Amino acid sequence: MADLVDVNAYYNTTQPDECRDFIMQQTMIRVKDPRRSLDFYCKVLGMHLIHAKHFPQWKFSLYFVGYCNKSCIPEGDEEKARFCRTVPGCIELTHNHGTETQEGQVYNTGNSDGGIQGGFGHIGITVPDVYAACERFHKLGVEFKKSPNGGGMKGLAFVKDPDGYWIEILTIRYPSVTQKVDCLGVELE
């Protein structure tokens, strides 16, 4: 077994003054079909489209989605871009024009696609009730990598977006609450 990192020094690290106003604003993933991805992130996961920007000269478009108060999203493009940069935890969906017409999977999601060891793992969202959220996802036809009662860790799930990226579904409460049977009919062991 590898040596474990002693994390105590990191818990006690003082943030440099120069980093005081930094936020983790976005993670970028490439998507094959922006309509399918926007439907998934906005209609299934309930995020809002905060800002979109098209670069036809370079043949790509960017769509920033995230959780925020929708009434705070401004109207104009420049105002949306400014606001977007203040919203923590956005996902930048990058569409390279033309990929939507290609057959099969276009991008490596980082989870051992093509027989190579994974790098990028997943995005995680918290919900009030994992079992209720997963029941809704199941009814909407979302593909599951792991249901709440599947695998070794109980009370959390992994779903896949249209490109196969994994989304971890966690409860806001800690420790996780479990139910006897989940949305896929898997019984708690």
Q: What residues are labeled active site?
A: 168
29 and 119 Cβ atoms separated by less than 8 Å: no
